[in-house]
Structure 1
Amino acid sequence: MKSIDFHPADYDGHGRLRLPLLFWGVLLLQARTWVLFVIAGASREQGSALLNLFYPDSENFWLGLLPGLPAVLAFLLSGRRAGWPGAWRALWPLLVLAQLALLCWQPTLWLTGDPVNGAGLALVVADCVALFWLLTNRRLRACFIPQKE
C-alpha cells in the first residue's frame, strides 16, 4: 500500500492523525437540523417559533433529522475512534451518502413548491463544497483508515 505522508503537526500526542478542522464544519452543516433542534429546546418560549421559521412543515423537520444522524454519530465517536474502528470506518461512506441526500433534498423541495430563496441557494452551494471536500481530502480519508497499533 502506498505510504501517505502528512506533516508532523497533523498527528496528536498518541500518534493518531488529527481530524481536519473543516471536518467539524461539515458535520455541523450535515447536522443543521439537530443544531436547530437543540437551540429550539434551549430557548423554551421561542423554540416553536424558531422551528416554524425554518421548518413551516413539521414533516420536513423530522425528515431533516435523518441525514444528520451520521454526523451526530461522528461527533460522538470521534474521541473514541480507536476503540470503535469498525464503526468509525463505516461512518465515512455514511457521511458521503448523507451529504448526497442533503444536496438533493433542497432542489426536491423547490420542485414540490417551496420558494427559491437565498438561504436555500447558500445551503446547496455549501452542500456541494462539503461533498467535494469529503470526497477529495486525503487527510480526512486517512483518518477513517484504522491504524495499526
Structure 2
Amino acid sequence: MKSIDFLPSDYDSHGRLRLPVLFLGILLLQARTWVLFVMAGASRQQGDTLLNLFYPDHNNFWLGLLPGIPAVIAFLLSGRRHQFPRVWQGIRWLLIIAQLALLLWQPLLWWQGDALSGIGLTLVILDGFALWWLLSSHRLRACFAANGTF
C-alpha cells in the first residue's frame, strides 16, 4: 500500500518509491575519491598530476577510498534494491557512518597541520549538509524501508 505522504509521481511503474535525485549527489560526494581515481585513470598523462593536486599525501588517498565504499555499493545496488532488501536496509546506516567519518576527517587533517583551504571548507559544509539530509529525509528513509514505503 502506498503512503499518502508522497505524490503518485514519486513511485515507479512497479509501485516502489523512487530514489531522490539528491541521493545520487550525496553518493557522488561520498565517493569523491573514487571519482577522482576514475578520472585520473581516464586521463593517462595527467592522472598523476591530478592525484597529486588533490592528495599530495598518497596515504590520504588510500584512506579516502574507504568511506566511498558504501556509496559505491549503494550506487550499484540502487537499481536492484528490491532483490537485496536486507542489504539495502543496512546500506543507509553505512552511508550515515561514512558521511560522519568524512565530516570529521577534514577538520582532523587541519588539526594535524594541513592548510585551511576553500575546497576543504566547502567539503566540510557539503558533508555536514549531506549528513543532515541522510538523517532527516522522510522520502529517503522510506526508500530504505523494507517494502519501499514508510
Distance in 2 between residues matched to 1:143 and 1:25, nearest whole Å: 16
- 2:146 is matched with 146
Structure 1 residue 92 corresponds to structure 2 residue 74: no
Distance in 1 between residues matched to 2:4 and 2:85, nearest whole Å: 19
Distance in 1 between residues matched to 2:129 and 2:82, nearest whole Å: 28
Q: CA deviation at 1:49?
A: 0.5
- 1:116 is matched with 116
Distance in 1 between residues matched to 2:4 and 2:10, nearest whole Å: 12
Q: TM-score, normalised by structure 2?
A: 0.95
Distance in 1 between residues matched to 2:38 and 2:47, nearest whole Å: 9
- 1:65 is matched with 65
Q: CA deviation at 1:110?
A: 0.2
- 1:19 is matched with 19
Counting matched residue pairs gives 146
Deviations 1:68-121 (A, max 9, x none): 000000000001100000110000000000000000000000000100010000
Q: Secondary structure at 2:116's aligned position in 1?
A: coil
Structure 1 residue 76 corresponds to structure 2 residue 76: yes
Percent of residue pairs bearing the same amino acid type: 68
Distance in 2 between residues matched to 1:138 and 1:15, nearest whole Å: 17
Extract unaligned runs of 5+ from structure 1.
none
List structure 1 segments (4+ residues) > 4 angstroms apart after TM superposition: none
- 1:39 is matched with 39
Q: Aligned letter for 1:66? A: L
Distance in 2 between residues matched to 1:147 and 1:118, nearest whole Å: 42
Q: Aligned letter for 1:64? A: G
